[in-house]
Amino acid sequence: MRVLRLIRIALVSMRFGLDDIVLSHERLAGVRWVNRILFWRDLRQPRAVRLRLALEALGPIFVKFGQVLSTRRDILPTDIADELALLQDRVPPFPAEQVIEILERAYRKPVGAVFASFDITPIASASVAQVHFAELPDGTKVAVKILRPEIESVIANDLALLQTAATALERVSADARRLRPRDVVAEFEKSLKDELDLTREAANCSQLGRNFRNSRLLLVPAVYWDWCSEQVMVMERMSGIPVSHIDRLVAAGIDLKRLARTGVELFFTQVFRDGFFHADMHPGNIFVAVDAPHHGKWVGLDFGIVGTLSDSDKSYLAQNFIAFFRRDYQRVATAHVESGWVPPDTRVDELEKEVRVVLEPIFARPLSQISLGRVLMQLFRASRRFNVEIQPQLVLLQKTLLNVEGLGRQLDPDLDLWTTAKPYLERWMDEQIGPRALQRRLLAEAPYLVAALPELPRLIHRRLLAPPAASDTALLELAAAQRTRNRWLTAVAVLLVIVIVLLLYRPT
């Protein structure tokens, strides 16, 4: 079976000239005879288009791989990344008999005993799963997401072939080795395994819903955990208009300019307030609510891919974005060094020059025409020569930012993302380094201080009374004097800690 699949991959690759893409480097000019043998092929279309068409012809797993690959703009040529971003899951639904079989195996009872009603015709079908409408026994309207049958074995076979192809590429091409195809396939494998467990997606959905409970920006479906398993996810049925249907949004009375601005605010809220963001915000996963209670709110769907950011990641991003606004290239360079992502012996002035060369031409255009996502991408590329290992979560964020910008400017061509984002970023930075940040951190640490406080004087006293390692008399006398001073300092420090704790826990 795997041999037949390999033969099909080879035939499709030759049909679309993928060999020409891989072997077109001048150092491999000796293999140009392949084109002479396959003279009948039409290779007039751009290489990126041919690659996209080949992946679509090879089936859903290769389409999914192309989608993931499109996020790696830090290593892919721009034309290929842009074209792969156009890949869409156009997968026929699997038969009704298999739907029933999967549900009955998951619930160990007939479908009629689980749901009051179940629509056997899917409303959406993608490479990994499809979605059906249903009603719970109490009449609650829900959407039921079901994994494709035997998807694990299909993925395992195709992943093995992808890994084999990646290994072969690294052996024949130095350029391919620089792109680390085996690492990319490994990253894709991890992403797919996460998507094959729908309890993970349900947890992502639940987390995002908790972050935006009662929000004026975003609606997230509730998860009905009693009906969820690894193969089935049951969530609240959401309604709205796909964000790409501009005419329908206008007819429903949606203010497109406001919608674009709130979309930007929504993105930066997820990133900088929560450090947890929906990382698959393409038009198929984003709707706009038009019902009276939620008119104009964004509606999020499909939470298989999310991104997480640490406090250091958020600080790095905020400092870089604000430095962009101010054209402070030295601050951009020092932020890279302080983050620890470049070798410590990196010369800041050289990194600053590289950043200036890349970014200064971008600022020659009006701010409203500048893409924050592309600025971030250019920064990643500029940093590569300094051996910066771009963090996967930042690559995912950069891809999401490009999607947000595309959606925003589709809604409002005059959207100035910089003007919309700058106040939010500056406010966030003030909250991180101002008095409120100090108060918040002290409050966060207060329980640990209270727990450790009774033992603190004894531990400090024991440490200060410990004899010095040296036996020299002068050192001993110096240590005795130092211990006397340290006792007073310890008393003052403990008193200060007590005062801070009392202030923090003072009744309001």
Strands 141-147 and 218-219: unpaired
Q: What are phi and psi of 146, to 5 degrees?
A: -125, 130
Strands 298-300 and 218-219: parallel
Burial class (CB in 10 A: 0-12, 13-18, 19+), 291: exposed
Half-sphere CA count of 421, side-chain side, radius 13 A: 31
Render 61-76 in DSSP notation, one character per residue: HHHHHHHHHTT-TTTS
Residue 213 three-state SS? coil
247 among known catalytic residues: no
Mean pLDDT within 243-248:
90
Half-sphere CA count of 61, side-chain side, radius 13 A: 22
Cβ-Cβ contacts under 8 Å for 495 (sequence gap 6 or more) = none
**pLDDT tens profile 436-489:** 666 666 677 667 666 766 776 776 767 666 665 554 555 555 556 666 666 655
Position 332 scores a pLDDT of 81
Position 253 scores a pLDDT of 94
Scanning the structure block, which residue is given the tokens 């077109």?
24
The sign one gets for the Cα dihedral 249, 251, 253, 256 is positive
Dist. CA 250–CA 387, nearest whole Å: 48
Cβ-Cβ contacts under 8 Å for 31 (sequence gap 6 or more) = 23
The closest alpha carbon to 411, from 216, 297, 259, 294, belongs to: 259
Dist. CA 167–CA 180, nearest whole Å: 9
**pLDDT tens profile 355-405:** 888 778 777 666 666 677 777 777 776 666 676 666 667 777 777 887 788
Q: What is the DSSP-derived secondary structure letter of residue 146?
A: E
Q: Is residue 404 within 8 Å of 281, Cβ to Cβ?
A: yes
The closest alpha carbon to 379, from 312, 307, 424, 319, belongs to: 319
The sign one gets for the Cα dihedral 261, 395, 81, 342 is positive
Which amino acid is present at 41? R
Residue 38 three-state SS? coil
Mean pLDDT within 141-145:
97
pLDDT top residue among 283 and 262: 262
The closest alpha carbon to 128, from 233, 8, 204, 219, belongs to: 233
Res. 128 pLDDT band, cuts 50 70 90: confident
Instruction: Tell me which of 158, 280, 313, 416 is the catalytic residue.
Output: 280
Lowest mean pLDDT among 23-32, 201-210, 440-449: 23-32
Kindly report the number of other CB atoms within 10 A of residue 391's CB atom.
Answer: 17
pLDDT top residue among 402 and 98: 98
Q: Is residue 232 within 8 Å of 144, Cβ to Cβ?
A: yes
Dist. CA 368–CA 372, nearest whole Å: 10
Cβ-Cβ contacts under 8 Å for 45 (sequence gap 6 or more) = 53
For the chain, the average pLDDT equals 78
Position 143 scores a pLDDT of 97
Looking at the DSSP bridge assignments, the partners of residue 130 are 125, 146
pLDDT top residue among 417 and 54: 54
Cβ-Cβ contacts under 8 Å for 221 (sequence gap 6 or more) = 143, 205, 209, 235, 236, 237, 238, 301
